[in-house]
Structure 1
Amino acid sequence: MVAAEELLPPSPPSLSSSSPLILGLQPSALVDHIVRVDWSLLAQIPGERGGSQPVAIEELEHILNELKTHILPSPDEPSPLRTIAGGSVANTLRGLATGFGISCGIIGACGDDEQGQLFVQNMNYSKVDLSRLRMKKGTTGQCVCLVEADGNRTMRPCLSSAVRLQHYELTREDVRGSKWLVLRYAIFNLESIRAAIRIAKQEGVSVSMDLASFEMVRNCRSQLLELLESGDIDLCFANEDEAAALVRDEEEVNPDVALEYLAKHCRWAVVTLGRDGCIVKHGKQVGKIVRVPAIGETHATDATGAGDLFASGFLYGLVKGLPLEDCCRVGSCSGGAVIRALGGEVQPENWQWMYKQMQIKDLTTPDLCKTYS
């Protein structure tokens, strides 16, 4: 294995003169352990099925030790357990770079351990710029992704002891020259998120934010509302559960109400509805809600990364100047591509599937689609 020190620039980074079009803030690098399991394991661990709840390292290790007696074998998967670079932002950037040919870079920190090396190698292979990723002495975050037979996934991240990029380490040079900054809402990264948004606005960089999980919205809602109502979030993604948690105090709680709230404060608002597609609204246009159905098969092998890859396709559409409906259709294609295999990384044959779906829908395909033909 190549040493991580050989793959990363020294910290602080020496930034290249050509800035990536899209940057992502992921203060702590993360490695995902993805495995198909029977439901009985989920009954033994704390938290709700289908969500994402932080755990201590002891609990993570306990879950990993229990996996061997709960793994569901799959003839379509060469290994029952996949370990890859993870995290919502990393998934979105990797999708943009490998599937759409958009120049991307990640801002954050990784540990000088085996997990950090894996994260670096995976993101390097995916052609994501790592010149803004600081290496620190310590451990890299990990997450176990438990996938049920129906494709539903339950995530248990462990970041409590992971190295992290602190808010005071961010500089205007980190984002200068880029067009978009992608981030994920998380209360434990709130200082870094606020600092990154402030710097992005100073540099004229648009900000996209994903609402992370219904637990994060439900438990840390007041800070989230403050961020949204600042007017500094240009694009916001929420799934149906996150949308419901966001507007829980309203007289009527449904995706349309959440979309109207988000569109009041964000230039673009998107609520994904799983197999029912998505709804989107551009700013404060009265009554102008775009509804786009899902594309392709409805059965999911693994829902991990579906929202992240939807964001990849939607952002590709935005930077290419596509109509809003087409941005949603591309997002639906890329989100549909990732659920066809384990993990938040689209396999080559599933990029081929995505390009075919895009061609059927008469959507603009990336130049690199010939690479996968």
Structure 2
Amino acid sequence: MGAEPFSNNDTPLVLGLQPSALVDHVARVDWSLLHQIPGQHGGSIPVALEDLEHILGLVKNHVISRHRVDDGVKTLAGGSVANTIRGLSSAFGISSGIIGACGDDEQGKLFVHNMNSNGVHLSTLRNKKGHTAQCICLVDALGNRTMRPCLSNAVKVQAEELTREDFKGSKWLVLRYAILNLEVIQTAILLAKQEGLLVSLDLASFEMVRNFKQPLLELLESRNIDLCFANEDEATELLRGGQNADPETAVDFLAKYCQWAVVTLGPNGCIAKYRNEIARVPAIGEAKATDATGAGDLFASGFLYGVIKGLSLEECCKVGACSGGSVVRSLGGEVTSENRQWMYKQMQIKDLPTPDTSK
């Protein structure tokens, strides 16, 4: 089950496909600001660039003053796959790269700088003329998120731009399900399989599963997905209309098609299956998250690290719980150096091998 990272600096062990680079603007705000923003609290509603800039202006005038280090608006590279890849590289010392496109604007430069400074390989990231996607993540006092992404006119990598060369020498491809990216996802999977890569798929959101279930089932039934991550809501949605829609049934369903099936259960930990083996692991860390952004993404980083290192299924789940628990301790989907130390300490307590990040 294990494979050591390559010494060759140009060939990352793990590749993430995120067709559009994305920059997150994360801020902790109070209810009065949320009432000024159109749309329901919670969830994610796409907005135009001028709306995004208007909300950003409101936020900058309105950020809660808590006399904490992470006050203000925290701007960093975002997107589920980017979070997982950055976590693998910076927190786990696994050589990782990203396939996608960023614009030639300030946000594009910021994305590149943030990923670069976390050791992520960018040789397969295309630079294009145009806008880089952005998202505002507003976090309330309870740690709930209200997201307003601006993806319109953002540059992205197209299916026909991918080549086998992009995947050559890597061992894993990390994907997130999205109907808008279905063609590029399908192409990436085919090219990755031609190069012998294992493929990991995250189910993205229960709305995505509900609205576009058929193409998702076809991806699973192709048996080209080796590892599937779903949260409880996504798993329930996948089985809707069946007999039982509980996590155990969902893990069994996914395991029919994938070597590894993982259902995360938020504060209740996770349940996973590898071949005929099942593991259940509780969550780690405070019950109350400062900001839930990236919890599932970083869980995936830890789980993948475990698989790459050849750990047992239960140990993979435990590492995932440690990394997922570390990222929710501060704003944004990036593990801060302080939270990284917390994560290593939790791993040591549980007798898990800590990464060598000295490389």
TM-score normalised by the chain length of structure 1: 0.90
Equivalents in 2 of 1:223, 1:48: separation in Å? 28
Are 2:305 and 1:313 equivalent residues in the alignment? no
Corresponding residue for 2:320? 331
- Once the two structures are superposed, residues 77-128 of structure 1 have per-residue CA deviations (whole angstroms, 9 ceiling, x without a partner) of 3432101010111111111111111000101100000000000000110010
Corresponding residue for 1:150? 142
More moved, 215-224 vs 267-276: 215-224
Please give the secondary structure, in 1, of the residue aligned with 2:186: helix
Are 2:329 and 1:340 equivalent residues in the alignment? yes
- Once the two structures are superposed, residues 132-177 of structure 1 have per-residue CA deviations (whole angstroms, 9 ceiling, x without a partner) of 0010000000011111111122322221210010000000000011
Return the match for 1:39 from 7, 21, 31: 31
Contact 1:211 1:238 in 2 (8 A): yes
Contact 2:16 2:174 in 1 (8 A): yes
More moved, 224-233 vs 82-91: 224-233
Q: Give the residue type in structure 2 aligned to 1:200.
A: A
Aligned runs of 1:130-141 on 2, under 5 Å? Answer: 130-141=122-133
Are 2:75 and 1:89 equivalent residues in the alignment? no
Contact 2:60 2:73 in 1 (8 A): no
Q: Give the residue type in structure 2 aligned to 1:354.
A: M
Equivalents in 2 of 1:182, 1:78: separation in Å? 29
Please give the secondary structure, in 1, of the residue aligned with 2:91: helix
1:183, CA displacement in angstroms? 0.9
Structure 1 alignment gaps of length 5 or more = 1-15
Please give the secondary structure, in 2, of the residue aligned with 1:105: strand
Return the match for 2:63 from 66, 71, 94: 71
Aligned runs of 1:95-106 on 2, under 5 Å? Answer: 95-106=87-98
Contact 2:64 2:71 in 1 (8 A): no
Corresponding residue for 1:356? 345
Equivalents in 1 of 2:202, 2:89: separation in Å? 19
Equivalents in 2 of 1:247, 1:294: separation in Å? 24
1:35, CA displacement in angstroms? 0.8
Equivalents in 2 of 1:211, 1:46: separation in Å? 27
Equivalents in 1 of 2:216, 2:127: separation in Å? 29
Equivalents in 2 of 1:253, 1:39: separation in Å? 34
Corresponding residue for 2:100? 108
TM-score normalised by the chain length of structure 2: 0.93
Please give the secondary structure, in 1, of the residue aligned with 2:192: helix
Runs of 4+ displaced beyond 4 Å:
40-49
Are 2:47 and 1:22 equivalent residues in the alignment? no
Return the match for 1:267 from 259, 265, 270: 259
Please give the secondary structure, in 1, of the residue aligned with 2:256: helix
1:21, CA displacement in angstroms? 0.4
Contact 2:70 2:331 in 1 (8 A): no
Q: Give the residue type in structure 1 aligned to 2:176.
A: R
1:68, CA displacement in angstroms? 4.2
Contact 2:12 2:96 in 1 (8 A): yes
Please give the secondary structure, in 2, of the residue aligned with 1:355: helix
1:241, CA displacement in angstroms? 1.5
Corresponding residue for 1:191? 183
1:255, CA displacement in angstroms? 1.7
Corresponding residue for 2:4? none
Equivalents in 1 of 2:74, 2:133: separation in Å? 16
Are 2:238 and 1:249 equivalent residues in the alignment? no
- Once the two structures are superposed, residues 174-196 of structure 1 have per-residue CA deviations (whole angstroms, 9 ceiling, x without a partner) of 00110000011111111100000
- Once the two structures are superposed, residues 299-358 of structure 1 have per-residue CA deviations (whole angstroms, 9 ceiling, x without a partner) of 211110001100000000000000000000001101111111100111101100000000
1:42, CA displacement in angstroms? 4.2
Contact 1:294 1:332 in 2 (8 A): yes
Contact 1:151 1:302 in 2 (8 A): yes
Corresponding residue for 2:3? none
Contact 1:236 1:269 in 2 (8 A): yes
Over the matched positions of the two proteins, sequence identity in percent amounts to: 68
Are 2:281 and 1:292 equivalent residues in the alignment? yes
1:72, CA displacement in angstroms? 2.8
Q: Give the residue type in structure 1 aligned to 2:328.
A: I
More moved, 319-328 vs 209-218: 209-218
Corresponding residue for 2:165? 173
Corresponding residue for 1:240? 232
Equivalents in 2 of 1:244, 1:69: separation in Å? 40
Please give the secondary structure, in 2, of the residue aligned with 1:195: helix
Equivalents in 1 of 2:351, 2:155: separation in Å? 44
- Once the two structures are superposed, residues 194-215 of structure 1 have per-residue CA deviations (whole angstroms, 9 ceiling, x without a partner) of 0000101111100001111222
More moved, 317-326 vs 62-71: 62-71
Superposed CA RMSD: 1.8
Go from structure 1 to structure 2 and tell me whether the alpha carbon gap of 1:41 and 1:246 turns closer, same or farther (over 3 Å shift): farther
Q: Give the residue type in structure 2 aligned to 1:349.
A: E
Go from structure 1 to structure 2 and tell me whether the alpha carbon gap of 1:106 and 1:345 turns closer, same or farther (over 3 Å shift): same
Structure 2 alignment gaps of length 5 or more = 1-7
Return the match for 1:258 from 250, 264, 280: 250
1:44, CA displacement in angstroms? 5.5
Please give the secondary structure, in 1, of the residue aligned with 2:102: strand
